[in-house]
Amino acid sequence: MKKIVKRYISILLLLCIFFGVNSNLHAEGKIDSLLNTFNNKRADKAYENLAYAKAIDIYVNLIDKDFNQKNIYSKLAYSYLKIGEWENSVKNYNNLISLSEYKAEDLYNYAQALKSIGNYSESDIRMKQYATLNSEDSRIKRQANTNDEIKKIKSVIRYKIEPVSFNSKYSDFGAIVKDDKIYFTSERRIDAVVNYEYAWKEAPYLDIYELKMNGLISKPEFLKEKVNSKYHDGPACFSKDGKEMFFTRNNSLFRFISKKGEDNTNNLRILYINDVNGIFSTPEEMPFNSDNYSCGHPSISANDSILYFTSDMPGGYGGADIYLSERTDSAWTAPRNLGPEINTEGNEMFPYIHESGVLYFASNGHLGLGGLDIYQAIPDNEKYKIENMGYPLNSKYDDFSLTMNEEQKEGYFASNREGGQGDDDIYKFEKLDVSITLQVRTFDKLSKQRITNPKIYFNEVVIINANEHSENQDFDYSVKVKSEEKHALMVKKPGYRPFNASFNIAELEKQNNTIVYNVYLEKEAEWGIFGKVFYKETMEEIPNVNIHIEDGTSSFVKSYLSDSNGVFRIKLKKERDYKLRFEKDDIFAIRAEYSTVGRDSGWVNINEFVELVFEKIELNKKIEIPNIYYDVAKWNIREDAAVELDNVVQFLLDNSRIKIELGSHTDARGSSKSNQSLSQKRAQSAVDYIVGKGIESERITARGYGEEQIKNRCVDGVSCSKAEHQENRRTEIRITGI
């Protein structure tokens, strides 16, 4: 074939010379077109035969010549994706999308390439676009919200990993421990007489190697006998007693002649051999092998009765699915697909069945960090619970071929992540005892300010002084929890509504195995008043005024004190009527009323309802009592006068430290003697009424002034109106003692 190609190219070159390079541009263009068309067919053929590395070289050359770009970008981008050059894959998918010449599957593959370079948010966008074109694909639901879910996965460091010492610059994977040996698959066949390469990525074929572990790991040895062939061999697994070995091999005749199927593809098959007295028997075919599809990656159950493997046989869910076949007394049963819980429209590969019954496998169809991720399928009532194995065992690269020790605490896997020696490298991993630090902080929902000393209930256990239980005083509470646990949290603080939450630790965002859980408390609905008190004379604030308040439902009185600026703030209850009294030694007390009945919650400035300006108490200060009326020439207390005198009683009760003189005045009509006598009787009558209401007699004296202190011009001999005379008929209080 190579000779034919060279001959064809030579003919084209001769044609170029014959026509003249510069003399006939039309002929030159025709020749270029013929040559490019030929190369495009070569590239497509290589692509169809999975020779991606070869296809890439030709496609890149054609793109440089601006030939048929729209059809080439899709295959070129996918070829880069298959050989793990994701940056180049993304670049070419970008070019394809910009030309608007793409199919649904291009969008899906583009999303996977983006994920492999860690661009999870853009990957989500492309998956949503893919969903509009192929909504039936189960991978859409499995891989929804990749960005958020991957943040959760990567937030917990679950493993300690390190590369093994026997890695090479070639691909190494599929490590499995049997007794005192490690068996693995590698491309390192560099000491063979002829080094064969396979077309996928133009690398050497795979072989199975073994090495002994006698304290120190020896040099890997090529597993000869009848196992390795000219083509791919591996990975492998062993029966429990080590007498049977199952392994993957390219379909071939006599180990050296490739055998292809109907689609001209050299597929994989599973073979098994027996160890008879230390000598391998001739490999035998598994009965379900076929020339027309692949079967590979075998894993045998602990009782040697069930073989799990990967196949792309017809009737599956996608590219490659995981199947099982059971061993009977006479034969192996027909393969059974493990179903849509495990298998997707993508590829599920490298099954490993642990003796516990947990199935481990690699997939690019389930939600993962990129490329192939490793998952565990836990049996659950004839179904499976699928879980991503977590970080850093999984990465944005291909992670696969996991095997694990009996305790499921450590094992091996392979990855092509950065930092390795070759294409794929084998890593040893150890499960960490993952504990998460949960740190709780409490804030006021409105102000966003920290709330001090909240009462925290964790799983219904009260933490009295929460701050004392925190390793870091920046938090109200700190506790170690397991990564998969569920917990209940309640936070209380007087004046706030209680906070309740139940959550799964696995679902919370973490950073360095730490969860910062912020609680925002909402204040309870409140009713209250606030205000400020002033001196009447100067309008200066009055500090430390006593405020007594009762709610009308009981005789209990609460007292408050204004601050140094005269400001007060009092919380009330809803649907209550309140009476307030403001007092201080050097000011006259003031009474007020306020009601929350029918009012919405909130704080009210009472200065808008009550004039809270206070007069200073001074000796001889006079206070006139309005509307104290007597019948003509009489001094008995009328009902209307009693109302005002009751106010005087309340005034004296409110200002219990003062003594007063109650003075009665008349107008100038009539004789001064009779006016004096009448006013004295009226003053005494008023005092007797007040004393009768419980005021100590020594606190109040009566004094009749008659017409001695006329307020206006209405003295004897002056004609005045009734209103002017009324102005002089008054009752006054004078402060006589403090």
* Mean pLDDT calculated for residue range 698-713: 92
Average pLDDT over residues 566-591: 91
Same fold yes or no, 437-521 and 527-599: yes
Q: Say what the pLDDT of residue 266 is.
A: 67
Q: Report pLDDT for 723.
A: 86
From the list 442, 415, 417, the residue with the least C-alpha distance to 426 is: 415
Buried b (16+ CB within 10 A) or exposed e, 493-523: beebeebeeeeebbebebeebebebebebee
Burial of 49 (0-12, 13-18, 19+ CB in 10 A): middle
Q: Which CATH number fits domain 527-599: 1.10.150, 2.60.40, 3.30.70, 2.60.120?
A: 2.60.40
If you ran DSSP here, which 8-state letter would residue 33 be given? Answer: H
Backbone angles phi, psi at 105, to 5 degrees: -65, -25
Mean pLDDT, the chain, rounded, equals: 85
> Domain 2-136: which topology?
1.25.40
- Picking from 18-32, 404-418, 534-548, which range would have the lowest pLDDT averaged per residue? 18-32
Decide if pLDDT at 658 tops 80: yes
Does position 59 have pLDDT exceeding 50, yes or no? Answer: yes
Whether the link from the prior residue into 235 is cis, omega within 30° of 0, is: yes
Q: What is the mean pLDDT of the segment spanning 697-709?
A: 92
Beta strands of 94-201 (E only): which ranges?
159-163, 172-178, 181-186, 197-198
* Residue 150 pLDDT > 70: yes
Three-state DSSP state, 328:
coil
pLDDT score, position 22: 47
Q: Which superfamily does 159-431 belong to?
A: TolB, C-terminal domain (2.120.10.30)
Residue that has been written with the tokens 């009424």 in this structure: 689
Residues 6+ apart with CB under 8 A from 398: 84, 362, 371, 372, 415, 416, 424
Predicted pLDDT at 192? 47
Partners of 571 in the β-ladder:
528
Tokens of 538: 């100067």
Phi, psi values for residue 94, rounded to 5° = -60, -45
Q: Kindly state the tokens that stand for 366.
A: 């389930």
Class of domain 622-737: alpha beta
Average pLDDT on 571-593 reads: 90
| Amino acid letter, 8 | Y
Residue 342 has φ and ψ, to the nearest 5°, of -95, -50
In this prediction, residues 219-232 reach a mean pLDDT of: 80
Q: Which of 117, 45, 48 is nearest to 81 (CA)?
A: 117
**DSSP-based three-state secondary structure for 693:** coil
In the chain, domain spans:
2-136, 159-431, 437-521, 527-599, 622-737
pLDDT over 70 percentage in the chain: 89
Give the relative orientation of helices 146-154 and 120-133 as an angle to the nearest 10 degrees: 140
Alpha helices (H) along 576-635: none
Where is mean pLDDT largest: 230-234, 511-515, 658-662, 665-669? 658-662
Band of residue 226 on the pLDDT scale cut at 50, 70, 90: confident
Cα separations in angstroms, 489 against 401, 441, 471, 476, 498: 40, 12, 18, 13, 10
The one-letter amino acid code at 508 reads L
CA-based nearest residue to 240, from 164, 191, 300, 173 = 300
> What's the rounded Cα separation, in Å, for the pair 246 and 413?
19
Query: Is pLDDT of 484 > 80?
Result: no
Overall average pLDDT of the 89-103 stretch: 88
Which pLDDT score is estimated for 413? 96
Question: What's the pTM?
Answer: 0.60
Q: 24 or 686: whose pLDDT is higher?
A: 686
Is residue 205 scored above 70 in pLDDT? Answer: yes
pLDDT recorded at residue 203: 57
Please report the pLDDT score of residue 228 as a whole number. 82
Mean pLDDT score, 22-37: 64
Which DSSP helix (H) or strand (E) runs through 593? strand 587-595
152: which DSSP letter?
A: H
Please give the share of the chain, as a percent, with pLDDT higher than 90: 40
Q: What is the C-alpha separation between 317 and 303, in angstroms, rounded?
A: 28
Could you report the per-residue pLDDT of 445-482, keeping only the tens digit for each? Answer: 989 999 988 988 988 776 644 444 444 567 888 888 87
CATH number for the domain running over 437-521: 2.60.40.1120
Neighbouring C-beta atoms of residue 587, cutoff 10 Å: 19
Q: Count of residues for the chain?
A: 738
Q: What's the pLDDT tens digit per position in 309-354?
A: 999 999 999 889 999 999 998 899 999 999 999 999 889 999 999 9
Closest CA to 686 of 622, 639, 635: 635
Task: State yes or no: pLDDT of 414 exceeds 90.
Answer: yes
The one-letter code for the residue type at 666 is T
29 pLDDT exceeds 50?
yes
Dist. CA 484–CA 457, nearest whole Å: 20
Secondary structure element (H or E) that encloses residue 28, with its range: helix 25-48
DSSP 8-state code for residue 103:
-
pLDDT band at 176 (very low <50, low <70, confident <90, very high): very high
Please give the average per-residue pLDDT across 169-177, as a whole number.
Answer: 92
